[in-house]
Amino acid sequence: GAGVSQSPRYKVAKRGQDVALRCDPISGHVSLFWYQQALGQGPEFLTYFQNEAQLDKSGLPSDRFFAERPEGSVSTLKIQRTQQEDSAVYLCASGLAGPDTQYFGPGTRLTVL
Amino acid sequence: AQSVTQLDSQVPVFEEAPVELRCNYSSSVSVYLFWYVQYPNQGLQLLLKYLSGSTLVKGINGFEAEFNKSQTSFHLRKPSVHISDTAEYFCAVSQGAQKLVFGQGTRLTINP
């Protein structure tokens, strides 16, 4: 079946622009996670949804980062007034309820100039 | 707070040689452990996971890992590597249906 998809795959933004990154999870997966992966580093947790409820947003680095999942399916990560330090790959993962596998999408590579 | 340490940032090995990628974690409670592989310009793919039960876990592509609670380790092994195993490998830990905490990654390079 279809895996997790993310769009766009690549995004170049000028500093100060707003961006929106989309994640389509695997159908039926209640859990959805966003991670940020800087160059040469492991992914770092940003936020977690169970259905439409955002249960953990402790990893969002500033109030410029905002995520939503209004209908418990597709999720959008929005970054306002982008800064150069926001340049990274943003990974989305989905999973079933419980301590089980998270399935990752291919990521969106964001470059802020 | 949980943390994961991957002791080697790069591991070069010759094709058909055995390999071990080391992972240690710190946590005061029971955890779930994972190894993911990342090929260039791709997302993360699960290799194997430990949730409970047998401490020796077998995964895809001939990889296996052993959970050692006393040493808080979860090292990844393969008896004979192939060129196609060249990739970045990440160890990760979680508590329940929560976020994954990843190590810094180990770049495995296979030389012919």
Over chain A, what is the mean pLDDT? 94
- Percent of chain A scored above 90 by pLDDT? 92
Mean pLDDT, range A3-26, rounded to an integer? 97
* Residue B74 clears pLDDT 70, i.e. is over it: yes
User: Looking at the complex, does the CB of residue B25 fall below 8 Å from at least one CB of chain A?
Assistant: no
Model confidence at A79, in pLDDT bands (50, 70, 90)? very high
Burial class (CB in 10 A: 0-12, 13-18, 19+), A102: buried
Find chain A residues with C-beta within 8 A of B51's C-beta: 99-100
What's the pLDDT score for residue A1?
A: 59
- With a cut of 90, say whether residue A55 has pLDDT above it: yes
Percent pLDDT > 90 in chain B is 75
| Residue of chain A whose Cα is closest to the Cα of B5 | A42
* Statement: residue B42 has pLDDT above 90: no
Question: B91 CA to chain A: closest CA distance, Å?
Answer: 9
B-chain CB neighbours of A107 within 8 Å are 43
Q: What is the full DSSP assignment across A14-63?
A: -TT--EEEEEEPPTT--EEEEEEE-TTS--EEEEEEETTEEEE-TT--ST
Kindly indicate the confidence band of residue B40, based on its pLDDT and cuts at 50, 70 and 90.
confident
**Confidence (pLDDT) at B97:** 58
